[in-house]
Amino acid sequence: MTMIDGQMVATQIKQQIAKQVNELAELGVTPGLAVIMVGNDAASEIYVKNKQQVATDLGIEANTIKMPADTTELAIIKKIQILNADPAVDAILVQSPMPTHINEQNIQAAIDPSKDVDGFHPYNLGQLVTDANEYYPVANTPRGIMRLLKWYDVKTTGKLALVIGRSILVGKPMAAMLTNADATVITANSQTKNLDELIAIADIVVVAMGKANAIDAQKMKAGATLIDVGINRLADGTLVGDVANKNNTNLAFATPVPGGVGPMTIATLMETTVELAQQHVAHGND
Amino acid sequence: MTMIDGQMVATQIKQQIAKQVNELAELGVTPGLAVIMVGNDAASEIYVKNKQQVATDLGIEANTIKMPADTTELAIIKKIQILNADPAVDAILVQSPMPTHINEQNIQAAIDPSKDVDGFHPYNLGQLVTDANEYYPVANTPRGIMRLLKWYDVKTTGKLALVIGRSILVGKPMAAMLTNADATVITANSQTKNLDELIAIADIVVVAMGKANAIDAQKMKAGATLIDVGINRLADGTLVGDVANKNNTNLAFATPVPGGVGPMTIATLMETTVELAQQHVAHGND
C-alpha cells in the first residue's frame, strides 16, 4: 500500500503557482485574495493565518478582513459588494463556519461568480454539474483530491467511487467531479444504511464525515483507494482522520492525516486565486 | 406489483394547475410560455404541438417560435433576449435536440434564470445542488418522478437509489433531488461496470438510457421501485421503455411506458410555468 504524500504534491503545485505569479507580475498584475472572517473561531484563526502566510510566500496579495461575531448578514454582503467592485481583488473567500445568525447560502450567492474562489456560488456549482467547457472555479478540497488521484495515476473511468458526506464544501462537488471523470458515483450521507456493503464494493472511497475514526479501512476491498478528508483532534491532542486502521490493508493507496488532503486544499486555493487573476486579465477587468 | 398510473396523477396535477391559473386570472395575469423550436425534428414537432395544446387547455398562453435549421446560435440568443425582456413571457423552453451546430449550454445560459422553465440554467442547477431554501425551477422530468414517488408513498430517506444516465435533462437533476430527499444515490453511466450488481441492491432504480429494453426488471430486488424514463419506438411501431420484463416481478411499483413518466413531465412543465408566473407576480415583474 502506498501512502499518498499530499505535502509533496502540494509543494510541486506551489512551485508551478510561483511561476504563474511571476508571469502575471511581468504584466504588472498581482493576484489578490480577500479573506472575510466573522467572529473569533479558534480553528478558523489558524486556518486564515496559514492561508495568509502561504499566499504571501507565493507573491499573492492576501488581505484578511475581520468582522465581529455580531456582524449582520447585510453588513457582510455590503463588504462583499465592495470587494466585488475592487479591481485589486481577484478572489474572495468567506471563512466557514460563520456565526449561526448568518445564512451562508446568502453570503456565498453575494460573491461575484468570477471572484468565487471556493466555487460555492450556485452559478459555478451549476457549471460544474453541467461539466461546462468554459472556465469556472470549483471547491478546492475536491479539486485537490482530483489532483492527488491524477498524480498517483488512480483511474476513475468506469470505477465505482463512494463519497461519504454531501456538504457543499466537499461531498457534492466531489461527486460531480467524479461523475464528470466517468466514475460511477455513490453519494452516501448520515441516513445511509448498509454503508459497510457499499464500502466493500467501491474502488475509490472518499470520506468527509468530520468524525474521528468513523470508518474502518479494513472493510474496503483489496486494490481500492482511500481518501480521508477528515481532520479531528482527539482529547489527547492527536490529529486523526475519519478513517481508522489504514496500515496493513490491501489498499492500493491511502491518504494520511495529517499530510494528505489538507496540504492540497491550501495549494489548490492558491492555484484557483491565480487562475481567477488570469481570467480577469484575459477578460480585461484587472 | 403496482403499475404506477402517470396519466392519473398528471390529471390530478392539471386540475390543481387550472385552479392556480384561475387565481392568477383574478389578478389579471395570464401565465405565458414561449417555446423555441429550431429545425424540423419530427418527434419534436409532436412534443411541441402537445405542449401547446395542454397549455391552451389550462389557460396558459403558449407561443411556439419556429426557427429554420440553419439559424445561428447568436440569432437564437437574440430571440431569447427579446423573450427575457417581454413581461408577457413567464417561461422559456428551448426544445431539444437543437441542430448540431448549436451549443445547447450557451443557449440555456442565455435564458433569464427566473424564466428558465426547464431548470437547465447553471444558476438554477446550482440552487438545486445547494438545496436552496428560496424558489428555483428544476428539470420537469425528475420533478415529475419525485411527484410520482410521493404520490405512491415510496420512501426515499435512507434508501439506495440508482440513477442510470447522467444527462442534464434527467440523470443529474434526478440524482440531486434524491440526494436532497435523503436517499443514498448511485449515478451510473455508459462506462459503468457491474451494473447488474448495483441493480440487484437498489431500492429505487431510475432508468434514463434511451435504449429499448436495455435493462431487465427481473434483476431488481423484491420490493424495489422501478422508474422507466425511456420511450423508444421499435421497428414495428411499438413504444417501449428502457426496461424489459416488468410484469411478474416482485417489485413494489413500476412505471409503464407509455403512461408512466411521460404524462407527468408535461404536467410538471405546466406547473413550473404557473409557478414562474406566480414568482413574477410576487416580485413585481408581471
Q: Which domains does chain B have, with CATH numbers?
A: 27-114 (3.40.50.10860), 140-261 (3.40.50.720)
Q: Which residues of A touch B184 (CB under 8 A)?
A: 186-189, 191-193, 198
Which residue is closest to A125 within chain B, CA to CA?
B126
Give the closest-approach CA distance of A105 to chain B in angstroms.
7
Question: Residue A285 above 70 pLDDT?
Answer: no
Q: Which residues of B touch A179 (CB under 8 A)?
A: 166, 172, 187, 189
What is the per-residue pLDDT for A284?
78
Q: Is A166 annotated as a binding residue?
A: yes
Question: Residue A203 above 50 pLDDT?
Answer: yes
Closest Cα to residue A219, out of A176, A166, A162? A162
Residues of B with CB under 8 A from a CB of A: 105, 121-127, 129-130, 132-133, 157-158, 160, 166, 168, 172, 175-176, 179, 182-189, 191-194, 197-198, 201
**Neighbour-count burial of B182, counting CB atoms closer than 10 A to its CB (0-12 exposed, 13-18 middle, 19+ buried):** middle
Distances from the Cα of A239 to the Cα of A31, A212, A234, A261, B169, angstroms: 33, 9, 6, 13, 43
Give the closest-approach CA distance of B121 to chain A in angstroms.
7
Q: Please tell me whether residue B253 adopts helix, strand or coil conformation.
A: strand
d(CA A163, CA A153): 19
**pLDDT bracket for residue B285 (50, 70, 90):** low
Q: Is B144 annotated as a binding residue?
A: no
Strands B2-3 and A232-233: unpaired
d(CA A130, CA B107): 13
Mean pLDDT for B9-29 is: 98
Mean pLDDT for B72-98 is: 97
Among candidate residues A20, A51, A127, A246, the one labeled active-site is: A51
Tens of pLDDT, residues B222-233:
999 999 999 999
Mean pLDDT for B197-209 is: 98
Cell numbers for A170, please give them.
466537499
Closest Cα to residue B2, out of B142, B147, B151? B151
The answer to whether residue A118 is catalytic is yes
Backbone angles phi, psi at A204, to 5 degrees: -135, 130
Which residue is closest to B105 within chain A, CA to CA?
A132
Tens of pLDDT, residues A146-186:
999 999 999 999 999 999 999 999 999 999 999 999 999 99
**pLDDT bracket for residue B198 (50, 70, 90):** very high
Give the closest-approach CA distance of A9 to chain B in angstroms.
29
Q: What is the DSSP string of B17-85?
A: HHHHHHHHHHTT---EEEEEEES--HHHHHHHHHHHHHHHHHT-EEEEEEE-TT--HHHHHHHHHHHHH
- Asked if B184 and A186 come within 8 Å (Cβ–Cβ), the reply is yes
Backbone angles phi, psi at A62, to 5 degrees: -110, 135
Tens of pLDDT, residues B235-277:
999 999 999 999 989 999 999 999 999 999 999 999 999 999 9
Closest Cα to residue A143, out of A119, A108, A114, A167? A119
The answer to whether residue A159 is catalytic is no
Question: Residue B140 above 60 pLDDT?
Answer: yes
Please report, rounded to a whole number, the percentage of residues in chain A having pLDDT higher than 90. 97
Tens of pLDDT, residues A94-120:
999 999 999 999 999 999 999 999 999
Are A204 and A145 spatial neighbours (Cβ–Cβ below 8 Å)? no
- Asked if A132 and B105 come within 8 Å (Cβ–Cβ), the reply is yes
Give the closest-approach CA distance of B136 to chain A in angstroms.
11
Q: Which residues of B touch A183 (CB under 8 A)?
A: 191
- Asked if B160 and A194 come within 8 Å (Cβ–Cβ), the reply is yes
Cell numbers for A254, please give them.
491511502
Closest Cα to residue A3, out of A228, A255, A251? A255
Question: Residue A286 above 60 pLDDT?
Answer: no
Cell 429505487, residue located:
B204
Q: Is A165 annotated as a binding residue?
A: yes
Distances from the Cα of A51 to the Cα of A36, A57, A74, A256, B271, angstroms: 12, 10, 26, 21, 47
Q: Which residues of A touch B160 (CB under 8 A)?
A: 192-194
What is the per-residue pLDDT for B286?
46
Q: What is the DSSP string of B91-140?
A: EEEEPSPPPTTS-HHHHHHHS-GGGBTT--SHHHHHHHHHT-SS-----H
Tens of pLDDT, residues B169-196:
999 999 999 999 999 999 999 999 999 9
What is the per-residue pLDDT for A248?
85
Among candidate residues A20, A79, A90, A95, the one labeled active-site is: A95
Q: Please tell me whether residue B234 adopts helix, strand or coil conformation.
A: coil
Average pLDDT, chain A: 96
Indicate the angle between helix axes B6-26 and B42-58, nearest 10 degrees. 50
Tens of pLDDT, residues A54-100:
999 999 999 999 999 999 999 999 999 999 999 999 999 999 999 99
What is the per-residue pLDDT for B223?
98
Q: Which residues of A touch B193 (CB under 8 A)?
A: 158, 160, 184
How many C-beta atoms surround the C-beta of residue A214 within 10 A?
16
Q: What is the DSSP string of A129-167?
A: HHT-SS-----HHHHHHHHHHHHTT---TT-EEEEE---
Give the closest-approach CA distance of B43 to chain A in angstroms.
25
Which residue is closest to B161 within chain A, CA to CA?
A186
- Asked if B193 and A125 come within 8 Å (Cβ–Cβ), the reply is no
Q: Is A231 annotated as a binding residue?
A: yes
Which residue is closest to B125 within chain A, CA to CA?
A126
Question: What residues have CB less than 8 Å from A282, skipping those under 6 apart?
Answer: none
Are A8 and A264 spatial neighbours (Cβ–Cβ below 8 Å)? no
Indicate the angle between helix axes B122-130 and A122-130, nearest 10 degrees. 100
Q: Please tell me whether residue B199 adopts helix, strand or coil conformation.
A: helix
Of the candidates B122, B132, B187, which has its C-beta nearest A127's C-beta?
Answer: B122
Mean pLDDT for B105-113 is: 96
